[in-house]
């Protein structure tokens, strides 16, 4: 049996799997969200009360984390396909990473506001 | 005698314009475009969530804001992008476990992605409008 390393940085499979796991998390959250809110009109009190539960905050935080990972992999794939200049691709990727990291902080601030 | 083997090696020309794609190809490019759109929309979704949870007054401002026809239209477009991306994603997961790989089935499920996502958009949009 020949064991050999072909080529690459080996993040391909990990990212492929991450894209699918995060997709399932977002799908589950979507269904829970629709079930929680599909019953009728929402007031400020009920909306605030829903997001006051620790489980809802954590679930939404997991959603946000999944969205950010999923978006990063997707946007990176788009850049790899269309942005051929290494310098431009690097610059765009850095901008997207910093933006997504900023969103993570913003989302935590929104969710855990007293 | 003419060289038939050489003649058969003529270059293939594919028309890759979106208007000439088969339905699974359309689902694919829409998946990418909707994903890019949703990424660009993230800042706005966070802004809306922030406003709605900030305070009683913030919630009232949020309701007035999303009540504006243009905002509603934009939200409807994003809803379609989300639902298309979701349906195409679910189809993709089935393809990953090698279900629905036959051409005829793949075309049917691709068509179903458009039908289901548009129908859901119409249904949820009508409920929220």
Cβ separation A27–B89 shorter than 8 A: yes
Cβ separation B89–A74 shorter than 8 A: no
Entry pTM: 0.88
Local confidence pLDDT in tens for the 129 residues of chain B: 566 666 667 777 777 776 778 899 999 999 999 999 999 999 999 999 999 999 999 999 999 999 999 999 999 999 999 999 999 999 999 999 999 999 999 999 999 999 999 999 999 999 887
Cβ separation B86–A113 shorter than 8 A: no
What is the ipTM metric for this complex?
0.90
Domain that holds residue A62: 12-111
Angular region, B102: left φ>0, alpha ψ -120 to 50, beta rest: beta
- Examine residue B89 and state whether it is found in any structural domain, yes or no: yes
Query: How far apart are alpha carbons A95 and A101 in whole angstroms?
Result: 10
Distance in Å, alpha carbon of B35 to nearest chain A alpha carbon: 7
B97: chain A residues, CB-CB within 8 Å:
none
Domain that holds residue B117: 23-128
Distant-in-sequence, close-in-space partners of B60: CB < 8 Å, separation ≥ 6 = A44
Cβ separation A27–B86 shorter than 8 A: yes
Number of domains chain A is built from: 1
Query: How far apart are alpha carbons B46 and A47 in whole angstroms?
Result: 15
- Examine residue A59 and state whether it is found in any structural domain, yes or no: yes
- Examine residue A1 and state whether it is found in any structural domain, yes or no: no
- Examine residue B98 and state whether it is found in any structural domain, yes or no: yes
Local confidence pLDDT in tens for the 114 residues of chain A: 666 666 677 778 899 999 999 999 999 999 999 988 877 788 999 999 999 999 999 999 999 999 999 999 999 999 999 999 999 999 999 999 999 999 999 999 999 998
Residue of A nearest to B42 (CA): A103
């Amino acid at each position: 049996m020949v064991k050999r390393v072909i080529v690459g940085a080996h993040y391909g499979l990990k990212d492929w799997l991450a894209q699918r796991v995060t997709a399932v998390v977002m799908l589950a959250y979507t269904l829970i969200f629709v079930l929680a809110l599909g019953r009728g009109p929402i007031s400020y009190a009920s909306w605030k009360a829903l997001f006051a539960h620790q489980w809802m905050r954590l679930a939404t935080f997991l959603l946000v984390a999944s969205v950010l990972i999923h978006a990063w992999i997707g946007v990176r794939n788009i850049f790899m396909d269309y942005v051929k200049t290494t310098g431009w691709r690097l610059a765009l990727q850095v901008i997207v990473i910093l933006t997504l990291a900023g969103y993570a902080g913003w989302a935590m601030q929104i969710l855990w506001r007293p | 005698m003419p060289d038939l083997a050489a003649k058969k090696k003529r270059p293939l020309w594919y028309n890759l314009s979106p208007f000439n794609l088969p339905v699974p190809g359309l689902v694919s490019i829409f998946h990418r475009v909707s994903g890019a759109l949703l990424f660009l929309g993230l800042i706005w979704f966070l802004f809306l969530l922030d406003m709605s949870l900030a305070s009683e007054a913030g919630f009232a401002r949020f309701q007035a804001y999303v009540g504006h026809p243009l905002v509603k239209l934009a939200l409807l477009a994003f809803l379609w992008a989300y639902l298309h991306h979701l349906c195409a994603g679910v189809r993709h997961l089935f393809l990953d476990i090698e279900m629905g790989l036959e051409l005829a089935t793949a075309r049917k499920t691709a068509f179903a992605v458009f039908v289901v996502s548009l129908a859901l958009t119409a249904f949820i949009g009508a409920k929220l409008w």
